[in-house]
Structure 1
């Protein structure tokens, strides 16, 4: 879990999102977010980490490339996450 994950989840919940933690699933995304009838897959990366630590792991990249459902988003900040769910 990235250090900024609690802040991202808290910000999403504050605007009324449902958030399900999935980070414990291997080669998956960190959170599943529901907002106003839409679903979002989000991988959270910590902007305080070096760029090399913010890259998707090989398993995360494979999942992202092969997923045929909702878009897979990489977020760094609470603002990134809120912008994704509130953009029509």
Structure 2
């Protein structure tokens, strides 16, 4: 039996910030199999974002094995973010 996907403590803050700049955001963390946490639409683009809690130690922010495989196989825009600012920077096309 599959465990429920964990949601990082800062995910709601990241979602709120993205929506404030006009993005549409759908949480998809429950898909599992390494799929990222958020599906984000903005100005005709669709990106996926994996949210990691920057307050946790680096070892706790690493991608899981399933996430690493997913990111390695994905052919579209996909980002790992730790802060709302970082998520917005990626969305706006600025290096974070």
- The answer to whether the aligner puts 1:77 opposite 2:74 as a matched pair is no
Superposition TM-score, scaled by structure 1 size: 0.95
| Secondary structure at 1:24 match in 2 | helix
Query: Which ranges of 4 or more aligned residues in structure 1 deviate by more than 4 Å?
Result: none
Higher relative contact order (CA 8 A, sep 6+): 1
- C-alpha distance in structure 2 between counterparts of 1:25 and 1:52, whole Å: 23
Pairing 1:45–2:47 present: no
Runs of 5+ in structure 1 lacking a partner?
none
Q: Structure 2 regions of 5+ residues with no counterpart?
A: 1-6
Deviations 1:22-81 (A, max 9, x none): 11111110001000000111000001111111000000000000112x221000000000
Task: Identify the residue that residue 54 of structure 1 maps to in structure 2.
Answer: 61
RMSD: 1.0
Aligned match of 1:14:
20
The partner residue of 1:66 within 70, 73, 78 is: 73
**When the two structures are aligned, how many residues end up with a matched partner?**
87
